[in-house]
Amino acid sequence: MDKVSILDVDIDQISRKEIDALLAEKLNGDRLCQIATVNPEFLVEAKRNKSFAQALERADLKICDGIGISLMSRIFLNKKIERIAGVEVAERVCKMCSETGKSIFFLGGFGVVGKVEQEMCSRYPNLKVAGAIDGTVTTFDAVAETNPDAILVAFGAPNQEVWIQEFGRRIPSLRIAVGVGGTFDFWTGKALRAPEVLQKIGLEWLWRLILEPHKRGKRIFNAVCVFPYLFVKSLLKK
């Protein structure tokens, strides 16, 4: 699979048409595949957070989850990276588990993880849930003893990616692990996704800023202002 280097992070050029087959392959593989859904905020944070940068570097699959990454790659590098939202990747993992009889663990999503289990079992009646707990960044035994095939970790970046690196790889049964950020909030209605038209044109970030200006302000600034600056600066250096 081809990759595009953005701020020293190699983003995989994977499409929606390819991802289901890849997930099925990884679920039936012989080792853990850590999936990181990378957005511009990740890349900015990785520049100043060494442990997060290392976790991203060691992730087996890095999927573009930011219109800014896709645009910069196309405009400046003449390379296409399809944006696939993290919430979509997470749901595809659930769907694939339900179709293959594999089990999944929901970890994090403080205050909503019980509803997550109910919601996803409603969408996918054949889904086998190994466990669902709020947990903390040091949770390990409670997950390991259930022997899950896949895990969705909703601690937010960078904690979720670092947790998967430190603990996920010590669970022999695991084949897929994904850091899913605020996905559980979307699934349970605690947070609302942007209208589909805004998603399609890459303005989901603007919707989130309007709904949660204080919470999202700094993140959006990093994505919209700091990321392009660092990206162009890196190109000029080269």
Predicted confidence (pLDDT) per residue in 210-228, tens digit: 777 777 778 878 888 999 9
In a domain, 57, yes or no: yes
- CB within 8 Å of 52: residues ≥ 6 apart: 42, 45, 46, 157, 158, 161, 162
User: Quick check: helix, strand or coil at residue 134?
Assistant: coil
234 in any annotated domain: no
Q: Is residue 153 domain-resident?
A: yes
The whole domain housing 73 covers 3-188
Q: Is the per-residue pLDDT at 37 higher than 70?
A: yes
46 or 205: whose pLDDT is higher? 46
Average pLDDT on 153-159 reads 93
pLDDT of 144? 93
Percent residues over pLDDT 90 in the chain = 76
Q: How many domains does the chain have?
A: 1
Asked if 184 and 112 count as a contact pair (C-beta separation under 8 A), the reply is: yes
- The answer to whether residue 197 is domain-embedded is no
Least confident of 78-87, 97-106, 160-169, 193-202: 193-202
Check residue 74 and give its pLDDT.
94
Query: Which pLDDT score, from 0 to 100, does residue 139 have?
Result: 78
Distance (Å, rounded) from C-alpha 81 to C-alpha 125? 33
Q: What is the mean pLDDT of the chain?
A: 91
Q: What is the model's pLDDT at position 135?
A: 72
| 135 found inside a domain | yes
**pTM of structure:** 0.92
Classify residue 212: in a domain, yes or no.
Answer: no
pLDDT over 70 at 137, yes or no: no
Note whether residue 218 is domain-resident: no
Q: Is residue 13 assigned to a domain?
A: yes
Read off the DSSP letter of residue 32: -
